[in-house]
Amino acid sequence: MRIFIIVIIFLSVAGCKSPEARYPVTQNSGSYIDESVERNKEMIAEEEDYIKQVMGENSSTEYLDSAEGFWYYYNQKSTDSTNTRTPQFGDVVVFDYTISTIEGEPIYAEGEKPTREYAMDKEKLFTGLRQGLKIMKEGETVTFLFPSHKAFGYYGDRDRIGSNKPITARVTLHEIKDEIKQENNN
Q: How far apart are CA 39 and CA 154, in angstroms?
A: 13
Which H or E run includes 6? helix 2-14
- pLDDT 10s digits, 11-30: 666 666 666 777 767 666 66
Q: What's the distance, CA 59 to chain centroid?
A: 28
| Lowest mean pLDDT, pick from 33-47, 56-70, 171-185 | 171-185
Q: How far apart are CA 16 and CA 24, in angstroms?
A: 24
CB atoms within 10 A of CB 165: 19
Whether 62 contacts 56, CB under 8 Å: no
- pLDDT 10s digits, 96-127: 999 999 999 999 999 899 999 999 999 999 99
Go through the domains of the chain in sequence order and give each one's CATH number: 37-185 (3.10.50.40)
Stated pTM of the model: 0.79
Q: How far is CA 5 from CA 2, 14, 76, 140, in A?
A: 5, 14, 92, 88
Which H or E run includes 146? strand 141-146
